[in-house]
Chain A
Amino acid sequence: MLDVRLVDAPFDPADELTRFTARVPDAGGVVSFVGKVRADRGVEALDIRHYPPMTLPGFCALGETALRRWRLDGLLIVHRIGEMAPGAPIVLVAGGARHRREAFAATDFVMDHLKGESWLWKRERTAAGWRWIEPRAQDHADRARWG
Chain B
Amino acid sequence: MTARLVFLGRLEDLAGAPERSVAPGPLEQVLAGLPRDLAVSLLEPNVRIALNGRLLTDSGGITLGAGDELAFLPPVSGG
Contact = CB atoms under 8 A, between A and B. Distances in A.
A17 B10 CA distance: 34
Interface residues of A, number: 23
B55 A138 contact: no
B61 interface: no
A119 B13 CA distance: 18
Contacts of B74: 121
A139 B78 contact: yes
A119 B75 CA distance: 9
Contacts of B9: 49, 121, 123, 132
A35 interface: yes
A117 B69 CA distance: 22
A54 B77 contact: no
A100 interface: no
A114 B76 CA distance: 11
A53 interface: yes
A121 to B, nearest CB: 4
Interface in A64-84: none
B34 to A, nearest CB: 20
Contacts of A57: 53
B71 interface: yes
User: Residue among B12, B53, B75, B79 with the most chain A CB within 10 A?
Assistant: B79
A136 B27 CA distance: 31
A121 B52 contact: no
Contacts of A121: 8-10, 74, 76-77
Interface of A: 35, 49, 51, 53-54, 57, 114-123, 132-136, 138-139
11 contacts: A35-B79, A51-B8, A51-B50, A54-B50, A114-B79, A121-B74, A121-B76, A132-B13, A134-B75, A134-B78, A136-B79
Interface of B: 6, 8-10, 12-13, 50, 52-53, 55, 69, 71, 73-79
